[in-house]
Amino acid sequence: MVNDLRSRRITLVWLGTGAILLLALALLGLVMRVAQAVPGLISARVFYAMLTLHGSGMAGISLTIIAALFWYLMRRTLPLSPAVMQAAYGLTMTGALLLVLAAARGFGAGWTMLYPLPAMPGPVPAWDRWAAGLFIAGFALIIGAFALWSFDFLRAGVARYGSLGRMLGLDVLAGTTAPGAEPASPSVIAGAVVAVDGIATLLPGTVLATLMLANLVAPSFVVNPLLAKNLDFFAGHVLANVQIYIGAGVAYALLPLYTHRPWKTGKVLVAGWLVTLILVMLSAFHHLYQDFAEPVVVQIIGNIASYASAFPPIVVTIFAGVMLVHRSGMRWKVAPLFLYAGFAGWAIGGYAAIIDSSPALNQYLHNTLWVPAYFHTFMALSVVFFMLGGVYHVMPELTGRSLAEQLGKKAAALLLIGGWGLVGTWFLAGALGQPRRYTFYLAHVARLGWLGAGCVLIATLGMALIFGDVVRVVVSYVRTNDSPS
Amino acid sequence: MRSVHRGKLDAAAARLGASLALALLAAAIDGLAHRNLVVHLVGEHMALVATGIMAALSARRIPRLQWVQRSTGHCPTPVALAGLGAILIWHIPAVFGLAVAHPAFHGFMHLSHVAAGFALGSSVPALKPLVQALVLIGADGLMSIVGLGMIAGAMRYGDYPPAQVASAGAAMIVTMQALWLLLPLGYWLANNDIGGSTRNVGRTLDQE
């Protein structure tokens, strides 16, 4: 009972702080969009520092927030540790603070920074070594928080199911589930895949951070640039992708509660997640297409793995999720609305990513706005939507108060219109050749820049409506000091 | 019923292991391995480790060899770490270079791979389930770093051309994901030997 109260409090603090951070980072995005539409509004230095903070903050903070939400949903199934979540919160917030300090000191190498850029910002240095060091340390702390989560999830799952194999549902695949025993739920399987991939890529990520910090401290220590890039994209790719798998875990846990139909663990689902376990790492090779110095076989593996990685989510999660809702008579409350919209973002963003993972098309699209377009489609319009669906579901449990349904539906409409409008302008601008990471739009797509800025404004308004409602509920809960129901 | 199934599986593993070892001793493959690092580093080494693992798993059913299982069962963690260490050490370019240059050292390298596989096959099933998982995942992560280094040309092996080293790195990462992670899980599960207690399976915390 005490542990449950503690779990609720930790989750509420996580979600409250997360809402503030995500809104602040979204506002940075709005400023950047306006700056792109109005060249000269802010300097290039400030723009790239904001771009870096926005990218690293969104990638890192959304990973830990959706992991925290998933942790809360899974705590009744697995003996998860509240102390670990408290430690993860401390690491994440310290990491976020370091990222802000790095941006304040001008660090603007991008969140997928390439060696030796952090130590060598250019002929007119835009940041000092301290700023680069703060950024790498801050990001490492956030990833460290996710590593803690992964270890705890694995520990709890093995303790509950007896082994990693059963946690992954292999007994279902082999037909050896003990009589009377329930196999791992789809949420547990998704979480197990995330934890395994998270821990496996933690090592390359740690090596990269160590090499980069060593280079900052002792510039005479030289790192092989291709090795640094390979480690960067191997770890970065997996850590970005697992967020959507945690989102799938959230959908597995919540959607059946609204459709009143179970999401069963079947052989196809288990096989799909096993394939995903491997392919998420191998598809990282599609980031190496443009590195002519690396072997062609890497491109072939990346291409095959990227194409193949599309099938498991489409079949076992998105299609199954649609079938779960179809003719279920589900009442379209805000929580399932966001979860369902999250499937759309995953499917469409994933399809656009597959297009970019075709080497011939990647030749044209790889450094254009097409890339941020698909990345934002499955981060903002899928991961964040899964997160919002989860928030609308758990808030009554956490505070004894519900978020306003009608306001939530209006906010959802604004987010859908603004969000899809924004990525739509990016897809179009990218296909028309607008480079990514430019501070301005090329003349022939300048109108798309304005349109994109307008769409961000609409989406930010939707986000602000939800944020305001969350604040209302939390303040009301704190003021009356009610115990959670 | 289950013991019959397990016996058949172990027998099949033993035959497959012996066939693999014999195939690798064949002059044609050995010669190819000398010319091509992809065959040498991935095919030969992984297969030799797999041979050792299968031999160890099969040895559990042979009464005369069960003392091996019993002895490693007392201290499975050091045995598993020694097995992993024996494999990893040959991935250090200088050590591998020595093995390629000296035939006797080369033979020792191959023998040590089989021995490492045997050590892993006899010790890992005796590890606690969480440690089993961490050994698998940790080794996968470590070998990914080596593979990414090879792809980038940061590591050189003997006189093999850089392009071959890079391809071997990519092949090693694929092999690690496909074989290292999935095959042990599948084998242990089929043997109902994946470790751990099943008493809590299917019960939620609220039911306790």
Q: Are A405 and A472 in contact (CB under 8 A)?
A: no
- What's the pLDDT at B28? 65
Tens digit of each residue's pLDDT (9 = 90 or more) over B38-93: 888 877 777 777 778 777 777 766 677 677 777 777 788 899 999 999 988 988 99
Q: Which of B9, B145, B191, B204 should be substituted to probe chain A, the one whose Cβ sees the most A Cβ atoms within 10 Å?
A: B145
Mean pLDDT comparison of B8-17, B35-44, B45-54, B162-171, highest-scoring range: B162-171
Q: Are B149 and A227 in contact (CB under 8 A)?
A: yes
CA distance A310 to B106: 43
Please name the member of A200, A295, A298 whose beta carbon is closest to the beta carbon of B137: A200
Q: Which residue of B has its CA nearest to A274?
A: B182
> Alpha-carbon torsion A257, A259, A261, A264, what sign?
negative
Find the range with the poorest average confidence among A192-206, B137-151, B170-184.
B170-184
Distances (CA, A) of A430 to A367, A433, B149: 9, 5, 32
**For helices A44-74 and A82-104, angle between their N-to-C axes, nearest 10 degrees:** 180
At A473, the amino acid letter reads V
CA distance A337 to A413: 10
DSSP A383: I
CA distance B113 to A360: 41
CA distance A34 to B198: 58
Q: Which residues of chain A have pLDDT under 50?
A: 484-485
pTM of the shown model: 0.91
What is the maximum span of chain B, computed from C-alpha positions, in angstroms?
Answer: 63
What is the maximum span of chain A, computed from C-alpha positions, in angstroms?
Answer: 69
- What's the pLDDT at B32? 78
The two structure tokens encoding residue A74: 């899974």
At A174, the amino acid letter reads A
Write out chain B residues lying below 8 Å of A196, CB-based. Answer: 133, 137, 181
When pLDDT is cut at 50, 70 and 90, the band that residue B182 belongs to is low
Please name the member of A76, A178, A226 whose beta carbon is closest to the beta carbon of B206: A76
DSSP A27: H
CA distance A451 to A246: 32
DSSP A288: G
CA distance A19 to A411: 15
C-alpha neighbours within 13 Å on the C-beta side of residue B128: 6
Q: How far is A180 from chain B (nearest CA, A)?
A: 8
- Using DSSP's 3-state secondary structure scheme, residue A35 falls into helix
> Alpha-carbon torsion B191, B194, B198, B200, what sign?
negative
- What's the pLDDT at A482? 54
Write out chain B residues lying below 8 Å of A175, CB-based. Answer: none
Q: Please enumerate in sequence order all residues whose Cβ is within 8 A of that of A82, keeping only pairs 6 or more positions apart, or say none.
A: A3, A6, A7, A10
Write out chain B residues lying below 8 Å of A182, CB-based. Answer: 201-203
* Other CB atoms within 10 Å distance of the CB of residue A482: 12
- What's the pLDDT at B5? 59
- What's the pLDDT at B56? 78
CA distance B51 to B55: 6
C-alpha neighbours within 13 Å on the C-beta side of residue A167: 28
Write out chain A residues lying below 8 Å of B168, CB-based. Answer: none
- What's the pLDDT at A465? 96
Give the DSSP per-residue string, A188-209. Answer: HHHHHHHHHHHHHHHHHHHHHH
- What's the pLDDT at A93? 96
- Per-residue pLDDT at B193 exceeds 50: no
- What's the pLDDT at A1? 56
Write out chain B residues lying below 8 Å of A73, CB-based. Answer: none
Contact state of A165 with B206 under an 8 Å Cβ cutoff? no
Q: Where are the alpha helices (DSSP H) in chain B?
A: 2-25, 27-35, 37, 45-59, 66-74, 76-89, 93-101, 103-123, 129-151, 162-175, 183-190
Contact state of A181 with B186 under an 8 Å Cβ cutoff? no
The two structure tokens encoding residue A297: 């076989």
- What's the pLDDT at B201? 40
The residue assigned the tokens 């304005």 is A450
Please name the member of B138, B170, B174 whose beta carbon is closest to the beta carbon of A295: B170
Write out chain A residues lying below 8 Å of B149, CB-based. Answer: 224, 227, 230
Residues in chain B: 208
- What's the pLDDT at B198? 40
Contact state of A162 with B194 under an 8 Å Cβ cutoff? yes
- What's the pLDDT at A478? 87
Nearest to A252 by CA among A312, A189, A160: A189
CA distance A339 to A390: 8
> Alpha-carbon torsion A374, A360, A289, A438, what sign?
negative
**For helices A296-308 and A267-282, angle between their N-to-C axes, nearest 10 degrees:** 150
Residues in chain A: 485
Peptide bond between residue A39 and the one before it cis (omega within 30 degrees of 0): no
- What's the pLDDT at A2? 62
Q: How far is B24 from chain A (nearest CA, A)?
A: 24
Q: Where are the alpha helices (DSSP H) in A320-403?
A: 320-325, 334-356, 359-365, 370-378, 384-399
